[in-house]
Amino acid sequence: MPRKSEQFTESLIKSLLPEDKEYVKADNGLRIRVYPNGTKTWSFFKTAPNGVRKTVPIGDYPSISLKQAREVANRILGDMLKEGHDIATTKTGITFGEYMLSENYTRWSRATRNAHKEIMANLTNVIPTWIHRKQLRLFENTDFEKFVEDRLFGKGYEKPVKSSTINRNLNNIRSVFRHAFDNKEIKENPMDRFSNLKETDAVEKLSLTDDERKRLVAVSRDRTLPQANTRRHMEVFVELGLHTGMRSAELHSLKWKHIKNDRIHTIDFPKEAFGDKTKRLFQTVKKDITSMKIDSSSGIELTEDLAKLMRDNPNEASKLPVDIDYKDRGKLQGWYIEIDGKHTKSKKNRNVGIPEHLVKRIREYLWEREYKNTYEKYKDAVCPDENLNVVRSKHTTAMGVFDEVEIIPFKSVKTSFQTLCDIAGLKHVSIHTLRHDFCTQNIKRGTDIYTVKKFAGHADIRTTMRYVHALGKKDFDALEALHDEHSI
């Protein structure tokens, strides 16, 4: 039995209240469906001249007003009368969300864009539902204007965002429409008539001054600041960014097992050190340093590759029980970070050096953070060695205890980083500035441009060249002189 039709008015649509079950009201093919949660959705139902019956979704009310819904319905009806069968083909009706998730689009995106996963996540999580549900061919400038306004003022989002962020969102949306147009899914690209916002935000710094860098590091290390203990990881995060140039996603994926040293070797601990006959392994790095002293009643001294081993009170977590001293402090000493390609933008593995003093700080931080859990599992734990294996007083050394421990135990540190910048008085600085600074400082020190490209993991040398162009005239002249000196 045909559904009874009643003439729609704006007041009637507003007065439709949700019930226990969804229900539908219709007016000459234009239908509105009311769901129990209060959502109201427009659609158009009509029998085409070829006899095919089709329901075409239009969008949600009030995002789509009654007037707009009627205009869409009339346009659909006109197309049906003109082409006779258009509504029954796959040329119409596909929504933004359906096309975005189609095999055609995702296959193209995966094959052509390094940031495929990030872009798809942005389209899925940031672009609102009403855009996903709307048909591609029904978009107009007013739709994009509404999206921009909502993002600018934080309507429906946690907070407002900058123009540059909105432009990245628009570019991701634009890629869907451009692909749909190139594949003849839509007759025209509605985003051809919509321009990105003018970015009036301050340009992000490509490097820090020596004073800014000093202030940022000092603030990240200052344990007297409010909530400093909850930001203990930021000291490691900031210095890793400055010393390695790793991207934020790479830093968040970093575990202790990724910090390596090919000079690591294993020595036997003296039996007498703990007053029994059990040998214990100790991993250390080969280097020319002073003799090893074991602070125990035995008074034994060993000439080994370790400065000294202090058997402190294990409950005193503010100091790492192993205090390593060595000559030429600050050099790499063979330490490097192995970055897994599944976390890099280029999807390629790469290695980047890390100075020993920073490795030492990471060990101190991890031991302080994890020592309680360690002692719960190993009651006789004495100290970790240089590779964070746990040396025990009554059993053999527990190897690989810290391998799977995450260096940065949080998915996001944006708020903490901004707090540090505010305290340090830094403006126009983001987490990515740490990476910028790493590249710029390498260029200033005369590191070959292709080596910097390799360190940073840039896919294109032109990305690295921007740091050369960003140098001041004085710095650039010095760099040219350095190249001239070494060119033969």
- For the domain made up of 10-66, give the CATH fold: Double Stranded RNA Binding Domain (3.30.160)
Residue closest to 100 by CA, chosen among 69, 72, 76, 135: 135
Residue of higher predicted confidence among 470 and 128: 128
Percent pLDDT > 70 in the chain is 77
Q: Are 383 and 391 in contact (CB under 8 A)?
A: yes
Instruction: Give the torsion sign (CA, 343, 349, 352, 357).
Output: positive
What is the reported pLDDT for 161? 84
Statement: residue 120 has pLDDT above 70: yes
pLDDT attached to residue 302: 34
Count the neighbouring beta carbons within 10 Å of the beta carbon of residue 396: 12
Closest by alpha carbon to 72, among 129, 10, 138, 136?
A: 138
Q: Quick one: DSSP state of residue 360?
A: H
In whole angstroms, give the CA distance from residue 267 to residue 280. 8
Least confident of 196-200, 442-446, 459-463: 196-200
Note the pLDDT tens digit of each residue in 217-250.
999 999 899 888 889 999 999 999 999 999 999 9
Report how far residue 482's alpha carbon sits from residue 235's, in angstroms, rounded to the nearest whole number: 34
- N-terminal to C-terminal alpha carbon distance within the chain: 92
CATH 3.40.50 fits 96-193, yes or no: no
Q: How far apart are CA 186 and CA 381, in angstroms?
A: 67
Domain-wise residue ranges, the chain: 10-66, 96-193, 255-392
Residue 476 tokens read as 């650039």
Q: What is the pLDDT of residues 47-100, one digit of tens each?
A: 654 455 567 788 888 888 888 888 887 777 666 555 444 433 344 579 999 999
Residue 333 pLDDT > 70: yes
What gap in Å lies between CA 46 and CA 5, rounded to an integer? 13
Give the pTM: 0.54
Residue pair 280/380 in contact by the 8 Å Cβ criterion: no
Contact, 262 vs 334, CB < 8 A?
A: yes
Residue-wise burial string across 27-38, b where 16 or more C-beta atoms lie within 10 A, e elsewhere? bebbbbbbeeee
> Token match 């800014």: residue?
212
Q: State mean pLDDT over 121-136.
A: 91
Q: For residue 255, which phi and psi values (nearest 5 degrees)?
A: -120, 165
Would you place residue 105 in the very low, low, confident or very high pLDDT band (cuts 50, 70, 90)?
very high
Mean pLDDT over each residue of the chain, to the nearest integer: 79
Q: Per the structure block, which two tokens stand in for 76?
A: 């659909």
